[in-house]
Structure 1
Amino acid sequence: MAPRRRRSAYSVSMAATNRGYLPFFLLLLSPLITTSYSAAEAEQPVHELLLSFKASLHDPSGALATWSSSTPYCNWSHVTCTDAAAGIAGVNSSITVSLQGLGLSGDINASALCRVPGLADLSLASNAFNQTVPLQLSRCASLVSLNLSSAFFWGPLPEQFAALAGLVSLDLSGNDIEGTVPPGLAALRGLQTLDLRGNRLSGVLHPALFRNLTSLHYLDLSGNHFLESPLPPELGGMPSLRWLLLQGAGFSGAIPDTFLALEQLQVLDLSMNSLTGPVPPGFGLKFQKLLSLDLSGNGLSGPFPDGVERCLMLQRFEVQGNAFTGEIPAGLWSLPDLQVVRAEDNRFSGRLPEFPAGVSRLEQVQVDNNSFSGGIPRSIGLVRTMYRFSASLNELDGSLPDNLCDSPAMSIIDVSHNAISGTIPEFSNCKRLVSLRLSSNGFTGTIPASLGDLPVLTYIDLSSNGLTGAIPAELQNLKLALLNVSYNRLSGRVPAELVSDLPAVFLQGNPGLCGPGLPNDCDMPSRKHQGLALAATVVLFITGAVLLAVGASAMYRRLQGKNSSPWKLVLFHPTKITAEELFAAFHEKNVIGRGAFGKVYLIALQDGQNVAVKRLFCSGKLTFREVKNEMKVLAKIRHKNIAKITGFCYSSEGEVSVIYEYFQRGSLQDMICAAKFTLGWNDRLKVALGLAQGLAYLHHDCTPGVLHRDLKSSNVLLADDFEPRVAGFGVHRAVGEKAYRASLDSDLNQRCYVAPEQNFTKNPTNLMDVYSFGVILLELVTGRPAEQPASKDCSDIVSWVRRRINLIDGASQILDPSISHTAQQEMQTVLELAVRCTSVKPDQRPAMYEVVRLLQAP
């Protein structure tokens, strides 16, 4: 795109239209414009009109090569006529021109195109026009369907489109259209589909717009983050409305009672807004056709009203991230087609009901962080389709059902932070189990050795229970990314491979365990007792020396007064550097990277080792104590795919510099942006899997979880074996939220890594990191940098891929041609995963656990 040219043209346009009399004048004039063709123009042959239109386009792939005066236009590619005689006998017919995804650009000659008699359907979607929406398209009086989606149109939405009286479908989604939605569009009384999602529309929606559009079946305004409007009650007066998609569109206030009248609704998505108050009583009573309900990410409160159990076709019930109280309506769980229940992060209470075993189609139940009590329903294991049951941070008690894994699809079990007791059952049937989290309960007995027989089990967290006995040697059979058995009463020797090879192992709080690297080494227990007397003597000597040193230090500080150092250096691991040496090394010759928050320096230590130091210029003026507390949490993170934080330095001005371990290969961005990206597919897949495992650890295995919030290829460091290390995580915690957002907004070159909802949501989520991860996956699959400002084709890799993904040969255009064809199938699979991760809708992105599972699949 060419933002400077675009903005200057737009400013000229706005300068003209902002004169008070002009919009009204244009509205009066538009009917005259539509019908003011001369007789000669009207009689111009159709093929000449279409060729004039073609001449205005840039067609790099030759997609319109068959457009020739020597061939009847109904035989041209991408042109369809309903009457076989059209173009031969001059019979007027309905004509469709579908130019979707052809890589076209240029200045559209809408004047010629709109003189084509019978032009009913026009699609210019998924191209690269980079211009304002052509006003002259309002002359296409016969149009029934107009699709201009994802074609790099910008500027205001023309009110002149109100002249298209016969229009049934209007799609302008995925562009950069700004300003308000013109109230004049209310004149399109026959409109059935209006798709404006993913633009930059703003302001308040005019009531008249929806009062008149009573024929609408499909309305999508999602992703227009700058709208500032309550939910229009007039939407409830659209009796034909089936799809209402308003996700992340700046809506506020209560859900209007008028919505209860939308009896034809199939999909209702009001998620990621600022809605408040209770859901209207009787909500759902008349929604007999509703398939999907999404109210997540709002501020809705009160009990969820009865009535939803009357939605007999409901498949998805998503209300997470609100403040609902009371019980979930009991009839919900027995709906015959229900597949997904997401109610986490609310204040629901009561007992979880038994599920209708044998007939239920439930696939995932997520009710974490509520106040549910009672036992876990035994019928969960009898639901054959269940693959995720997550109920952590509740008040559940009783024992864990031994049939929980009788469901052949069960992959994720998380009942951590409850009051469940008894022994851990033998999960011998859990052949697809990836993650088992039972931490912070009251489990007793031993760890079942049968866990070692589960082929894809990757994450085990049994911490903070009362488990006894030894750690089973069978766990060495697993390819674990996490084993946390800390704070139990385990004893005996720790299997050697678990200590040496496992990326993230937590054994602390079990004084009876012994083995290499532990306080007890198992083989020489008497050595400790033999040295007690000598140790006591040494301690007494050291204590005296320390007291003398403290006194001398206090005297020295008093003498130094104002000459004390302005820097405070905190090291979490032995590192031979002082604060003065660190700051002395902050000069340009040592700079190895630049980002939104400052520069990264390579500093050589006294012992010959190197460290990377990220100097954060965007100081949020946090106190030293605040920064230290945050950095201590981040420095404790241990995983083979997480770069180790060795320390930090704090200046009296509030500036923070973070010290990381350094890797000679540099970052993934360095490799991608090199003259030739030479990394083979197996190594690229290794980078993707390691990065996914590191992120999954940050999101789900840290307590509390850690969001990265600045994930990009420059923050993916590569060890000698191409094992990735995630760096730059948690910067927002060291600088403060306000400074973090201000710096991120200023980093225009890295905006392509940022999830679309970043600009309008107050509460960041794991799924924003998933989006950034998806962008890196696209870099690995395509071999292209995420941002290419000098490219005339497309500067954003996500848009670049979206324009090609649905073409017949789209994959061949997207996948890196330097990779062997034998890897094409795997690359195609990873490409599909990357597209899911970069979905505009957050809830359509997979969690990092699922990403790890998919990347591990053969």
Structure 2
Amino acid sequence: MAAAAACLPLFLLLLLLLISPLIIASTAQQTPQELLLDFKASLADPSGALSSWSRATPYCNWAHVACASATASAGAAVSVSLSLQGLGLSGDLNASSLCRVPGLAALSLASNAFNQTIPLELARCASLAALNLSAGAFWGPLPEQLAALASLVSLDLSRNSIEGQVPAGLAALGGLQVLNLGGNLLSGVLHPALFTNLTSLHLLDLSGNRFLESELPRELGEMRSLRWLSLRGSGFSGVIPESFLGLEQLQVLDLSMNSLAGVVPPGFGLKLQKLMTLDLSQNGLSGPFPEEIARCTMLQRFEVHGNAFTGELPAGLWSLPDLRVIRAHSNRFTGRLPEFPGGQSRLEQVQIDNNSFSGGIPQSIGAVRTMYRFSASLNELNGSLPGNLCDSPAMSIINISRNSLSGTIPEFKNCKRLVSLYLAGNGFTGPIPASLGDLPVLTYIDLSSNGLTGGIPTQLLNLKLALLNVSYNQLSGRVPPSLVAELPALFLQGNPGLCGPGLPNDCDAPSSRKHQGLALAATVVSFLTGVALLAVGAFAVCKRLVHGSESTPWKLVLFHPVKITGEELFAGFQDKNVIGRGAFGKVYLIVLQDGQSVAVKRLVNSSKLTFRAVKNEMKVMARIRHKHIAKMLGFCYSEGEVSIIYDYLQRGSLQDLICAPKFTIGWKERVRIALGIAQGLEHLHNDHTPQVLHRDLKSSNVLLGDEFEARVTGFGIDRVVGEMAYQCSMASDLNYKCYVAPEQGCTKKPTHLMDVYSFGVILLELVTGKPAEQRASDDSVDIVRWVRRRVNVTDGAAQILDPSISSTAKQGMQAALELALRCTSVMHDQRPAMDEVVRSLQALCFGAHAETPRPTEIDL
């Protein structure tokens, strides 16, 4: 027995020696087909994009797989490219199997939802020449192990949440030609070796990494092969190094939105013969701009706005043969505008607002056939308007407000594509040309603060106007009633001779009363229609509750520890627990057995998204963490219905506070609420990859904590219910139209500026102390119209600002009102971005003083 025991280890060793080669052989003998199938097994593929991958078909014939041979000979090595971008994939990547696929030369996993760190096993893909993980929801540090990919030519990790420093070890990738790390959370100082060693780079993109703390490295100027250099908005400081003058292959140079200072090096442009795009905007650069820029004969875009440049724009710049865009606004440029080279010019946009240009507008501007935007407001231009100002068949935007121009306004009969005409703040006289009414797409007209006379032409009724501002002129006569009824933004103040609805002189009082009666009738009809729609919706919901809940199982997914079951959640869907209603359903307050309170937003029209698709979207939203973003605790799913569980705050929503019988909180708290909302939105817009748009921001979607800290909720609903269901629900939500930007019905793609408009409406609520949906006389009007009808009249601010706030806060309230009006501008490009809004509110918050209650407040 002892001898047998002594032989056992020897036997096991022999057995291991016999089996190991078989195991190794089995592993080594895995075909590329099997390795790719192993990789596929690690993925969640909700759309079935990889369903054609099977052992029955050669892998080179699979969807999203491409094979190529270096030579045509039999048995030649095969180069494999795997392109899986934009397929909605997720899961834990099995990179170890993938990297054993022979000849894997290109891998793209871009625009997916992996929600994980970059797998270190990717460093074993020895033959990889191109790796693209952009917008793949990757996070965590940038692995230094990727430096082992000696064959790598292109590395794109942009638009993720990669953080920390850029590893100096990446400098070992000497053959790298493309390095794109833009749109991440990289921080710290960049190591000089990254630039001295990566001399083969054609493209370097570090844009959108605002936590970097580096001066502009002079070593960049030694990268002689660079064609594309983008450092936009990445915290760079210091001066532009003289070494940049030697980047002779450069085609695109973007240093915008940094903290650069000093002058542009003399001779800049002398050797940059291939430069096509130059963007130095939004820095602190100063001094005259070097004349040598006129030597860049291939230049197409010249953008230097938002600096402190002085002197004249280089004379040769205007006549460059390929130049399309000049954006030099918000500087200190002086001098006269030169005559344009007429038919030879390819200029499309000239924006030189907010400078000190003088003299007349060039007579040759109308001969530039490609010009579609000429904007020169806030300068010192004088003389009359050229009659051929918009003879260009492309001219769409003219803005020459706030100058010293005079004479009459030309007929502009050839301006068939003119959309915006801004002539405010000049010295124009004579009548408003009736021919403006013949311009088919004219939408925005601002002729305010001039010396115009006569009446408002009835021909303007031919236009579908979104803005007509003729305030502060010398106009007279009757205002066409339909203008007042149709326009979302109409400004008539400062014309004592005008009469009509909404003006001190009503022209015809009986007629006015008749119009009010019709408006009241229309309001009643709209109300009854809304009640009918709500009844139909309630019936549909009840039907679903009775029939659907019994047959469809609930799937509960929690992202945080919450003691709740699907049954408890469903039992809480009772009318007595409803605390809010919106376009997508009701919001319920449910108190759990352990005393915790949660708010549940029940989406009863959730399209046909599968559970896996909803879970992927919810995981993305649950990852959004910010002190001013409501915490998403989890969700519950059944077919056609999703309920989102949020942490509930005891003060309820901002709408509850505003609509309470007494909205008595002070200005300091209101500014704090506004700043919190803005910071939450800025985080969604700028700090999260991919960018998240709220698309349903309103005061009922802002929850308040004990210290009035605001938390934004209800964002990203469109990603859960689907775009079609989202649009349908929003169209039927009559109660909250006032929060919706006016361009939303005219554009196919939502933008962050639509959220800015909604925020502006909330800010108006805080400034006025009134809910967004107003009642003015017998006419229902939203708060934006209510404010704009009063803002330009005498003592209008006194009518707008909440009288319950102490007079010591009036200055801050006035500043907040001006910010709200900018946010709710009819023209979306006039609205500030959320980061600018945050800076403005931070200044207001710092200056806010606690007000002393007035005696009338105490008596109430």
TM-score, normalisation: structure 2: 0.62
> Per-residue CA shift, 1:593-633, capped at 9, x if unaligned?
99879833458999xxx9999987845589xxxxxxxxxxx
2: distance between equivalents of 1:764 and 1:172?
Answer: 33
Q: Where do residues 454-603 of structure 1 align in structure 2 (5 Å cutoff)?
A: 454-522=439-507, 599-601=653-655
| Correspondence for 1:70 | 56
| Correspondence for 1:283 | 268
Q: Where do residues 687-726 of structure 1 align in structure 2 (5 Å cutoff)?
A: 691-693=740-742, 708=757, 710=759
Aligned-pair CA distance for 1:157? 0.7
The answer to whether the 8 A contact 1:591-1:602 is kept is no
Aligned-pair CA distance for 1:47? 2.2
Aligned-pair CA distance for 1:681? 9.3
| Correspondence for 1:785 | none
**Residue 345 (1) aligns with residue 399 (2):** no
2: distance between equivalents of 1:391 and 1:709?
Answer: 29
Match of 2:79 among 89, 94, 105: 94
Quote the RMSD (CA, aligned, Å). 4.6
> Per-residue CA shift, 1:352-376, capped at 9, x if unaligned?
1111111211111111110000000
Call closer, same or farther: CA 1:694–1:134 in 2, change over 3 Å.
closer
| Correspondence for 1:60 | 46
Aligned length: 601
**Residue 108 (1) aligns with residue 102 (2):** no
1: distance between equivalents of 2:579 and 2:33?
Answer: 64
The answer to whether the 8 A contact 2:324-2:349 is kept is yes
Code of the aligned partner of 2:302: F
> Per-residue CA shift, 1:498-530, capped at 9, x if unaligned?
344433332232223334543345579xxxxxx
1: distance between equivalents of 2:36 and 2:165?
Answer: 33
| Correspondence for 2:156 | 171
Aligned-pair CA distance for 1:270? 0.9
Code of the aligned partner of 1:45: T
> Per-residue CA shift, 1:3-24, capped at 9, x if unaligned?
xxxxxxxxxxxxxxxxxxxxxx
**Residue 82 (1) aligns with residue 68 (2):** yes
| Correspondence for 1:360 | 345
> Per-residue CA shift, 1:94-148, capped at 9, x if unaligned?
1112222222222222222222221111112222222111111111111111111
Code of the aligned partner of 1:261: G
The answer to whether the 8 A contact 1:272-1:761 is kept is no
1: distance between equivalents of 2:698 and 2:59?
Answer: 65
The answer to whether the 8 A contact 2:321-2:344 is kept is yes
Of residues 708-717 and 409-418 in structure 1, the stretch that sits farther from structure 2 once superposed is 708-717
Call closer, same or farther: CA 1:503–1:760 in 2, change over 3 Å.
closer
Match of 2:132 among 147, 171, 176: 147
1: distance between equivalents of 2:269 and 2:733?
Answer: 46
2: distance between equivalents of 1:294 and 1:488?
Answer: 40
Residue 78 of structure 2 aligns to a residue whose secondary structure is coil
> Per-residue CA shift, 1:131-172, capped at 9, x if unaligned?
111111111111111111111211111111111111100111
Unmatched tracts of structure 1, length 5 or more: 1-36, 525-587, 623-642, 646-652, 658-666, 697-705, 741-754, 766-858
The answer to whether the 8 A contact 2:206-2:234 is kept is yes
1: distance between equivalents of 2:42 and 2:145?
Answer: 22
2: distance between equivalents of 1:73 and 1:252?
Answer: 50
Q: Where do residues 649-798 of structure 1 align in structure 2 (5 Å cutoff)?
A: 677=725, 680=728, 683=731, 691-693=740-742, 708=757, 710=759
Match of 1:160 among 145, 150, 159: 145
Residue 94 of structure 1 aligns to a residue whose secondary structure is strand
Call closer, same or farther: CA 1:325–1:38 in 2, change over 3 Å.
farther
Code of the aligned partner of 1:104: L
> Per-residue CA shift, 1:701-743, capped at 9, x if unaligned?
xxxxx97583699999789999987699999x99979x99xxx
The answer to whether the 8 A contact 2:139-2:163 is kept is yes
Code of the aligned partner of 1:260: L
Code of the aligned partner of 1:70: A
Call closer, same or farther: CA 1:756–1:289 in 2, change over 3 Å.
farther
> Per-residue CA shift, 1:300-347, capped at 9, x if unaligned?
111111111111111111111111111111111111111111111111
| Correspondence for 1:48 | 34
2: distance between equivalents of 1:619 and 1:85?
Answer: 71
Q: Where do residues 107-506 of structure 1 align in structure 2 (5 Å cutoff)?
A: 107-506=92-491
Code of the aligned partner of 2:654: V
2: distance between equivalents of 1:689 and 1:380?
Answer: 41
2: distance between equivalents of 1:618 and 1:695?
Answer: 31
Code of the aligned partner of 1:156: P
2: distance between equivalents of 1:604 and 1:348?
Answer: 47
The answer to whether the 8 A contact 1:430-1:454 is kept is yes
The answer to whether the 8 A contact 2:761-2:784 is kept is no
The answer to whether the 8 A contact 2:234-2:258 is kept is yes
Residue 443 of structure 1 aligns to a residue whose secondary structure is strand
Aligned-pair CA distance for 1:479? 2.2
| Correspondence for 1:542 | none
The answer to whether the 8 A contact 1:691-1:724 is kept is no
Unmatched tracts of structure 2, length 5 or more: 1-22, 510-576, 583-598, 600-627, 630-650, 674-696, 700-705, 746-754, 766-770, 788-799, 802-808, 817-830, 842-860
Aligned-pair CA distance for 1:590? 8.3
Aligned-pair CA distance for 1:429? 1.1
Residue 343 of structure 2 aligns to a residue whose secondary structure is coil
Call closer, same or farther: CA 1:614–1:120 in 2, change over 3 Å.
farther
Residue 358 of structure 1 aligns to a residue whose secondary structure is helix
1: distance between equivalents of 2:217 and 2:733?
Answer: 48
Code of the aligned partner of 1:60: P
Code of the aligned partner of 1:82: A
Call closer, same or farther: CA 1:507–1:294 in 2, change over 3 Å.
same
2: distance between equivalents of 1:480 and 1:230?
Answer: 48
Code of the aligned partner of 1:69: R
Call closer, same or farther: CA 1:500–1:589 in 2, change over 3 Å.
same
Call closer, same or farther: CA 1:203–1:352 in 2, change over 3 Å.
same
